[in-house]
Amino acid sequence: MCGVLREISPRVRSIKPLQSSVVALRAGQIEEELTQGVKKSFRQLINLIWGDPQSAGIKPLTFVRQVLSACLYPQLLDNDRLPADARQRAKALLSECQGGSLGSYTDLPGIPQVVREISDFITRRDGGVPSYPENILLAPGSQWALQNILNLLVHGGGGAGGGDGAVRSGVLTPVPTHVTSIMSLMGLGGVSVPYYLSEEQGWKVEVEELNRALEAAKPMCNPVAIYIINPGNPSGHVQSRKSIQDVIRFASEKRLFLLADEVYQDCIYKENIEFVSYKRVLAEMGPPFSNTVELASFHSTSKGFLGECGLRGGYVELVNMDPAVMKHVFTIFSKDNTPTPSQIALSVMANPPQPGDPSYSLYAVETQQIRTTVTGNVRRVHEVLSSLPGVSSQPVEGGAFAFPRLNLPSKAIRTAKELKMEPDTFYCLRLLENTGACIAPGSEYGQKDGTYHIRFCITAKRDKIEDLLTRLVAFHTQFMDEFS
Amino acid sequence: MCGVLREISPRVRSIKPLQSSVVALRAGQIEEELTQGVKKSFRQLINLIWGDPQSAGIKPLTFVRQVLSACLYPQLLDNDRLPADARQRAKALLSECQGGSLGSYTDLPGIPQVVREISDFITRRDGGVPSYPENILLAPGSQWALQNILNLLVHGGGGAGGGDGAVRSGVLTPVPTHVTSIMSLMGLGGVSVPYYLSEEQGWKVEVEELNRALEAAKPMCNPVAIYIINPGNPSGHVQSRKSIQDVIRFASEKRLFLLADEVYQDCIYKENIEFVSYKRVLAEMGPPFSNTVELASFHSTSKGFLGECGLRGGYVELVNMDPAVMKHVFTIFSKDNTPTPSQIALSVMANPPQPGDPSYSLYAVETQQIRTTVTGNVRRVHEVLSSLPGVSSQPVEGGAFAFPRLNLPSKAIRTAKELKMEPDTFYCLRLLENTGACIAPGSEYGQKDGTYHIRFCITAKRDKIEDLLTRLVAFHTQFMDEFS
């Protein structure tokens, strides 16, 4: 490597590129080849590698977009093509923007009305457990918010900016889990301490395993926090109240900061299962837990009914933070403003049209349609996967992904290893080459040694799911034949 | 400090809160007091502390907002209330979004059309020096892009993530300069190495001073880069081609990475002065400079005619980067997507309506109005400041700020120090309390010991400027009387 930039910061060098790039990158090349007229056995790719509902044909909610367009182009505020409540919301939001424009910087932590709406939303969601606007910070996506909190928690080796010789900070992270959070952690010089979810028990979090992970980590790092994603990505597991209590007790006993990634809180697909927030359970447990355990809960406009990944809106609510620490939190978040369109999307997520509002019925129909579609997808995926030899699947209770396990023939595993490839990556690349279906290998999310998985998005239009399943079934049968 | 979060990362502790918070915070309180009916000698605040044109009454460009609203609410694509070229642009942009929606994640580095438009814009701007889409990365604001590049360049003390005992990285930064970049640097454990701009020469960058700063820094850190902001913030200086050549030669000789913050490139207010980019000068210098000096150039939708601070759109173009390093750059930027509305604003900035397009004449009128307003502001500010005793001002050639020097009476300086306050902070707080005018003290941007300044935004509606000047003149006269 030549050039002035001879040495790349080890912080950055330790960040592995998104491994799904292997499959996603090849998908990009194939798309290019198709455009150039290269003949393939398929005409189009079907890409369900990311949790990106709108790219998979789910339509945006009309009210979100109406409020956004009226805020951005206020000439529409007197346009009867937009319903009165959308225009009214836009006016109210603009009245709290400097100069009445989305083009101005907003105050920290954001447009006051948006922060109030979020705190009201949380209070309603948690059955009256109070939420305070001053504990809420907005960010361009929940991952930015998480990165800011990690920045506070994580000391690099030797400690950037002082504290030489300090031990690196560790964060307990589930296996499997999506990679973005771990990239943030590694980027800060932190250590990811893996705890395994119990696949056999539907990807349950087990306290025994948390204890094992913590003890195993101690010689290497100083564990400071535990990261949990509920509902799970990619696991699809939804934690019970009891399980959340267990984790809170563990965090309290071990003095760990709780990072609760709850971005899939609206994505629940099984009857008799409900999402309960860490905040609520913590409050209900009472002292000494409710007034000591430090918690950061993250939510986002990218998931749930909105599915507005492109708008990048997220927030974090902080609980039991020392006021002296909160000052630093504000300083970090003050480094930049959350984009105003992201804030508008957060407003609608937290405060959707209510019965009696002009936009209520359309909003209700649209959200119901999405719910029906995705619940149907989950059933259909389960049905098809159950029929495939060598595939076993835990129930998808929530979240945005199916994560079935592949019992691959040993010949396939050998072939993959000869190619210096993870066996499930080999499977996904072959699937992509042969059928144009783009999904992710489990090895990118972490999995127990010797187990293999695939992940694909279920928050998609039905015909996309059918298309994927058709290609997957044909390929899988042939693959199992070839390698058995 | 109690709680699990006992130790805050030293990386974070080293970030000082934005010092303007002292004045801005008090302004917030006063606003609150006014709302509650507390009697003051003024009815309203006038706030020109930030470079935030739309909060200061500058109207957004219609075409930007039309394209945005059509992209976000595609039902408007067949609405005759929007001009054909705005709808056409929206259609073209949406056709390159996954699922035809701004709600989807975009490919890295962004919507392909936007990246092409930016690279064409740079090529035109630089008189044909070619720009390649693959060297351009989008970000939610130029400061995020800068932070990502700093993350690559800067090793913390001991090196987060390895490299124990390594020396901390230093970045040469101008005095005065705005604080956001320095916050990013400190947040990464880097060292800010100050070089003083020569106020007497209109805030010129002097190579002798760069050499002095570099030598002085060597015992403390390993200088890896030089950060330049041209046109200057807060200095208002515009570098000549000759001065840029000098800096490039210095960077080449000392093997420093060049960080060129060029977000004010459209903000030039003096005849016979033009903005020339570092990229262009570097190319024109030929080898060995043009093919070795590593450069990152930043631009933004927040400044210039768009003034869309709230949308958070920025980009960086990289020059002469080693391909192996570029891989890491992509990895860092791949951690998150740039919000789609930010990308749409970048599209319009890079590719505004052209003569013959339906929206051209309105666009031309609006941009001309802004230019006329701001150029008029600069003249008017200069006129008024020149008339004030104890105020001297370098010409504002470009940028968004006036940064006059205050020759404060020694009694005022003593009084401030007794209050444990910087004298110009004391001045600004008194101005705020007495007149409701909110501007920033020079001490927040760095200045030579014993010199004092104030900064305020000039990209504002004329009546805001007049209002500020009226309050400032009355206050200043009284202040000088009181302390002389």
The β-bridge relationship of strands B314-319 and B437-438 is: unpaired
Interchain CB distance below 8 Å, B73 and A50 = no
- The angle subtended at Cα B60 by Cα A108 and Cα B268, nearest 5°, is 95
**CB nearest to A3's CB, from B154, B320, B328:** B320
Two tokens, residue B236: 């208002």
Query: pLDDT tens across A9-41, in order?
Result: 766 666 655 545 789 889 999 999 999 999 999
Interchain proximity A156–B152, CB inside 8 Å: no
- Mean pLDDT over the full length of chain B: 92
Instruction: Compute the average pLDDT of residues A127-134.
Output: 97
Averaged over B204-209, what is the pLDDT?
98
Residue type (1 letter), A11:
R
H/E element holding A453?
A: strand A452-457
Does residue B90 surpass a pLDDT of 60? yes
Q: Peptide bond before A395: cis, by omega within 30 degrees of 0?
A: no
Q: Nearest by CB to B158, from A97, A98, A164: name it.
A: A164
Interchain contact, B158 vs A160, CB within 8 Å: yes
pLDDT tens figures, B380-432? 999 999 999 999 999 999 999 999 999 999 999 999 999 999 999 999 999 99
Domains of chain A in start order, with CATH, are: 10-57+364-483 (3.90.1150.10), 99-350 (3.40.640.10)
Write out pLDDT tens, residues B130-185. 999 999 999 999 988 998 899 888 876 544 333 444 689 999 999 999 877 777 77
- Which residues of chain B lie closer than 8 angstroms to A81, CB-CB? 75, 79
Which chain A residues are within 8 Å of B339, Cβ to Cβ? 140, 310-312, 339, 341-342
Q: Looking at the predicted structure, is the pLDDT value of residue B19 above 80?
A: no
Q: Identify all chain A residues contacting B147, using CB atoms and an 8 Å cutoff.
A: 335
CA A171/CA B152 separation, integer angstroms: 23
Question: Could you say which of A168, A306, A309 has the minimum Cβ distance to residue B105?
Answer: A309
* Helix, strand, or coil (residue A102): coil
- With cut-offs at 50, 70 and 90, classify the pLDDT of residue B107: confident
In this prediction, residues A283-306 reach a mean pLDDT of: 96
pLDDT at A156: 67
* B63-78 mean pLDDT: 96
Whole-angstrom Cα distance, residue A350 to residue A403? 29
Contacts of A110 in chain B (CB under 8 A): none
Residue A55 to residue B98, Cβ atoms within 8 A = yes
Q: Chains A and B: how many Cβ contacts under 8 Å?
A: 358
| Burial class, A326, CB count within 10 angstroms (exposed 0-12 / middle 13-18 / buried 19+) | middle
All residues of chain B having their beta carbon less than 8 Å from the beta carbon of residue A61 are: none
In three state form, how does the secondary structure of chain B look? CCCCCCCCCHHHHCCCCCCCHHHHHHHHHHHHHHHCCCCCCCCCCEECCCCCHHHHCCCCCHHHHHHHHHHHCHHHHHCCCCCHHHHHHHHHHHHCCHHHCCCCCCCCCCCHHHHHHHHHHHHHHCCCCCCCHHHEEEECCHHHHHHHHHHHHCCCCCCCCCCCCCCCEEEEEEECCCHHHHHHHHHCCCEEEEEECEHHHCCECCHHHHHHHHHHHCCCCEEEEEEEECCCCCCCCCCCHHHHHHHHHHHHHHCCEEEEECCCCCCECCCCCCCCCHHHHHHHHCCCCCCCCCEEEEEECCCCCCCCHHHCCEEEEEECCCHHHHHHHHHHHCCCCCCHHHHHHHHHHHCCCCCCCCCHHHHHHHHHHHHHHHHHHHHHHHHHHHCCCCEECCCCCECCEECCEECCCHHHHHHHHHCCCCHHHHHHHHHHHHHCEECEEHHHCCCCCCCEEEEEECCCCHHHHHHHHHHHHHHHHHHHHHHC
The predicted model gives B449-459 an average pLDDT of 97
A342 contacts in chain B (CB < 8 Å):
339
Question: Cβ contact (<8 Å) for B155 and A14?
Answer: no
Residue from A6, A11, A362 whose CB has the most chain B CBs within 10 Å, to mutate: A11
Q: Which of B106, B340, B105, B138 is nearest to A303 (CA)?
A: B105
pLDDT, residue B336, reads 78
CA distance to B107, B206, B235, B281, B393, per residue, from B201 (Å): 46, 10, 11, 22, 11
Instruction: Identify the pLDDT of residue A115.
Output: 97
| Number of neighbouring beta carbons within 10 Å of residue B361 | 11
Confidence category of residue A160, pLDDT binned at 50, 70, 90: very low
CA-based nearest distance B191→chain A, Å: 9
pLDDT band at residue A331, thresholds of 50, 70 and 90? confident
Supply the pLDDT for residue A328.
Answer: 87
Q: How far is CA B78 from the centre of its chain?
A: 38
Residues in Cβ contact with B270 at an 8 Å cutoff, skipping those fewer than 6 apart? B238, B395, B397, B398
Judge: A5–B158 Cβ closer than 8 Å, yes or no: no
CB contact under 8 A, A99 and B151: no
| Region B448-469 average pLDDT | 97
Which of A134, A233, A118 is closest to A174 using CA atoms? A233
Which pLDDT score, from 0 to 100, does residue B8 have? 67
pLDDT band of B25, cuts 50, 70, 90: confident
Q: pLDDT tens for residues B267-319?
A: 999 989 999 999 999 999 999 999 999 999 999 999 988 999 999 999 999 99
User: Residue A98's pLDDT is what?
Assistant: 93
Residue A188 banded pLDDT, cuts 50, 70, 90: confident
At B195-204, the pLDDT tens digits run: 999 999 999 9
What is the per-residue pLDDT for A1?
40
**What tens digit of pLDDT does each residue of A218-250 get?**
999 999 999 999 999 999 999 999 999 999 999
Strands A401-402, B295-300: pairing is unpaired
pLDDT at B113 over 80: yes
Q: What is the pTM of this model?
A: 0.94
Mean pLDDT of B252-262: 97
Q: Average pLDDT for residues A335-340, to the nearest whole number?
A: 88
Residues 6 or more apart in contact with residue A85 via CB below 8 angstroms: A63, A353, A357, A358, A359
Instruction: Decide which of A305 and B230 is more confident.
Output: B230
- Over range B91-100, report the average pLDDT: 96
For B336, the closest of A52, A79, A141 (CB atoms) is: A141
Residue closest to B226 by CA, chosen among B283, B288, B162, B181:
B181
Q: Answer whether A159 sits within 8 Å of B158, measured CB to CB.
A: yes
Q: Which residues pair with A317 in a beta bridge?
A: A136, A297
Percent helix, strand, coil in chain A (nearest 5)? 45, 15, 40
**DSSP state for residue A208 in the 8-state scheme:** H
Residue appearing with tokens 């740039």: B338
C-beta separation of B306 from B64 below 8 A: yes
- Closest to A73 (Cβ–Cβ): which among B69, B307, B324? B69
Distance between CA atoms of residues A366 and A303, nearest Å: 15
Task: Report the alpha-carbon distance of residue A88 to residue B444 in Å, rounded.
Answer: 40
- CA distances to B53, B270, B369, B392 from B381, rounded to whole Å, are 16, 14, 18, 12
Reply yes or no on whether the pLDDT at A482 is more than 90.
Answer: yes
Q: Which chain B residues have a beta carbon less than 8 Å from that of A4?
A: 224, 251, 255-257, 293-294
Contact residues on chain B for A5, CB-CB shorter than 8 A: 152-153, 224, 257, 294, 321-322, 325
Whether A72 sits inside 8 A of B76 (CB atoms) is no
Residue A317 pLDDT more than 70?
A: yes
Sign of CA dihedral B211, B217, B219, B224: negative
Residue A398 DSSP symbol: B
Distance CA B296, CA B142 (A): 11
Cβ within 8 Å, pair B103-A341: no
**Surface-to-core class of residue A44, CB atoms within 10 Å of its CB (0-12 exposed, 13-18 middle, 19+ buried):** exposed
Residue A154's pLDDT band (cuts 50, 70, 90): confident
Question: In this predicted structure, what is the pLDDT of residue B161?
Answer: 37
- Residue B100 tokens, joined: 């035809």
User: Most A CBs within 10 Å: which of B1, B2, B6, B11, as the mutation test of the A interface?
Assistant: B11
Which residues from chain A sit within 8 angstroms of residue B170, using beta carbons?
A: none
Q: From CA B224, how far away is CA B190, in angstroms rounded?
A: 10
Question: Which residues from chain B sit within 8 angstroms of residue A143, using beta carbons?
Answer: 335-336
- Residue B140 tokens read as 């939610």
How far is Cα B70 from Cα A2, in angstroms, rounded to an integer?
A: 46
Closest Cβ–Cβ partner in B99, B151, B310 for A56? B99
CB within 8 Å: A335 and B72: no
- Residue A2 binned pLDDT confidence (cut-offs 50, 70, 90): very low
A173 DSSP β-pair partners: A194
- Per CB-CB distance under 8 Å, the chain B contacts of A70 are 69
Can you name the residues that pair with B174 across neighbouring β-strands? B195
| Higher-confidence position of B368 and A189 | B368
ipTM for the complex shown: 0.93
pLDDT tens, residue by residue, A342-361:
999 999 999 999 999 999 99
Which among B107, B204, B188, B196 is positioned nearest to B155, based on CA atoms? Answer: B188
Are B41 and B450 within 8 A, CB to CB? no
pLDDT digit string, tens, across residues A39-82: 999 999 999 999 999 999 999 999 999 999 999 999 999 988 89
Q: How far is CA A224 from the centre of its chain?
A: 22
